[in-house]
């Protein structure tokens, strides 16, 4: 257990030292929030921006890191040590979750304290939605990491999956401002369920359905990732 904790800490430190991860998971959503600070109810934007942080980490940053480990034969070499490859993957998921939590905490702090947005009505429901959303996106990221032959290809695959979900699913802008046809397509995207779950928790009307959908997608994607993942 001690070795696993140390491995998770190392992964978090390495992630925090990655300039692109720091920018896109912390600075970029914060910049968007500042640019849209003239919105009357800025809290409407926060669930989408939080989901964007998780999508960037789970769908682009993590697959590229895992694919890099495979390219450098690190996953195969770890099989002969107490720090098994499975532990490394779990530690990477935890690092992504913690980095996402840091980015979300800064975003919420600035939005609520700095710009006077309303705090979430159900913080525990929001935390659960956040956790399930992060796990769902990381499970999708592991599929990308398993299918991509190289780190650069993993990054490309991740962006091809992430950008449509961010812009059509309602993360970059609220669903209400999207055309009805685009909004109808976005409702079927996984990230849309994450945004819905967090918005419901924020505005005081949490329901079980989006949480169940997030859980189901996570289970299915985890199974697929286990089938397609390559260690070398």
pLDDT in tens, the chain (232 residues): 666 777 778 788 878 788 788 888 888 889 999 988 777 788 899 999 999 999 999 999 999 999 888 888 877 776 666 666 788 888 899 999 999 999 999 999 999 999 999 999 999 999 999 999 999 999 999 999 999 988 889 989 999 999 999 999 889 888 888 888 888 888 899 999 999 999 999 998 899 999 999 999 999 999 999 898 877 7
DSSP letter, residue 73: T
At 38, is the secondary structure helix, strand, or coil?
coil
Q: What is the pTM for the complete model shown?
A: 0.92
CA separation for the pair 61, 77 (Å, rounded): 22
**Taking a C-beta distance cutoff of 8 angstroms, is the pair 228, 143 a contact?**
yes
CA separation for the pair 10, 174 (Å, rounded): 36
pLDDT at res. 37? 79
> Within the chain, how many helices (H) and strands (E) appear?
12, 0
Q: How far is CA 187 from the centre of its chain?
A: 18
Give the number of other Cβ atoms within 10 Å of residue 51's Cβ. 33
């Amino acid at each position: 257990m001690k070795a696993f904790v140390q491995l998770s800490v190392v992964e978090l430190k390495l992630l925090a030292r990655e300039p692109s991860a720091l920018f896109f998971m912390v600075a970029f959503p914060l910049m968007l929030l500042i640019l849209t600070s003239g919105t009357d109810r800025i809290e409407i934007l926060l669930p989408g921006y939080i989901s964007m942080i998780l999508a960037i980490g789970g769908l682009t940053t993590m697959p590229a890191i895992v694919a890099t480990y495979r390219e450098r034969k690190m996953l195969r070499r770890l099989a002969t040590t107490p720090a098994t490859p499975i532990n490394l993957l779990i530690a990477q998921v935890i690092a992504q979750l913690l980095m996402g939590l840091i980015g979300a905490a800064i975003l919420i702090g600035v939005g609520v304290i700095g710009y006077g947005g309303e705090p979430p009505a159900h913080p525990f429901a929001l935390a659960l939605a956040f956790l399930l959303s992060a796990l769902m996106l990381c499970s999708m990221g592991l599929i990308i990491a398993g299918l991509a032959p190289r780190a650069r290809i993993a990054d490309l695959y991740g962006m091809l999956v992430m950008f449509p979900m961010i812009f059509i699913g309602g993360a970059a802008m609220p669903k209400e401002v999207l055309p009805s046809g685009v909004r109808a397509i976005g409702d079927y995207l996984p990230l849309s369920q994450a945004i819905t779950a967090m918005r419901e928790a924020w505005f005081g009307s949490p329901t079980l359905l989006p949480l169940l959908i997030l859980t189901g997608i996570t289970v299915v994607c985890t199974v697929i990732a286990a089938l397609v993942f390559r260690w070398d």
